[in-house]
Amino acid sequence: DAGVIQSPRHEVTEMGQEVTLRCKPISGHDYLFWYRQTMMRGLELLIYFNNNVPIDDSGMPEDRFSAKMPNASFSTLKIQPSEPRDSAVYFCASSLRLVDDTQYFGPGTRLTVL
């Protein structure tokens, strides 16, 4: 398997623009996670899905952020409108189970909002 795939790897945009980050989990994994990492706040769980259904989105910072998983092989994280404080590395991860199982992380998307 190719592992978790994320695109784009780098994104530079201007404040107010819509940003869409994409993720393809490892085939057969039932759980998909979206994380944000910054120097100040570390790695934060934003939302996770089980069998394409959002389970916990308490980490989503505000209504400007939304995530979808229309099928088992694809998920998006959208920011609209984007702000400079959204600049971070966004990771997607997947796993077979939530408990007693490792999460496999994608390479991340480095987002810069000017």
Partner 1 sequence: GQNIDQPTEMTATEGAIVQINCTYQTSGFNGLFWYQQHAGEAPTFLSYNVLDGLEEKGRFSSFLSRSKGYSYLLLKELQMKDSASYLCAVLYSGGGADGLTFGKGTHLIIQP
Task: Give contact residues for partner 1 (rule: CB under 8 A).
Answer: 33, 41-45, 48, 55-56, 58-59, 91, 98-108
User: Toward partner 1, which CB reaches closer, 10 or 16?
Assistant: 10
Q: Please choose, from the candidates 73, 72, 111, 74, the residue with its C-alpha nearest in 3D space to the C-alpha of residue 91.
A: 111
Please name the residues in contact with 98: beta carbons below 8 A apart, sequence gap of 6 or more.
31, 48, 50
Rounded to the nearest whole angstrom, what is the least distance from the CB of residue 9 to partner 1 in the complex?
11
User: Toward partner 1, which CB reaches closer, 45 or 72?
Assistant: 45
User: Toward partner 1, which CB reaches closer, 15 or 48?
Assistant: 48
Rounded to the nearest whole angstrom, what is the least distance from the CB of residue 81 to partner 1 in the complex?
27
Measured CA to CA in angstroms, residue 65 lies from 98, 111, 114 at distances of: 23, 14, 18
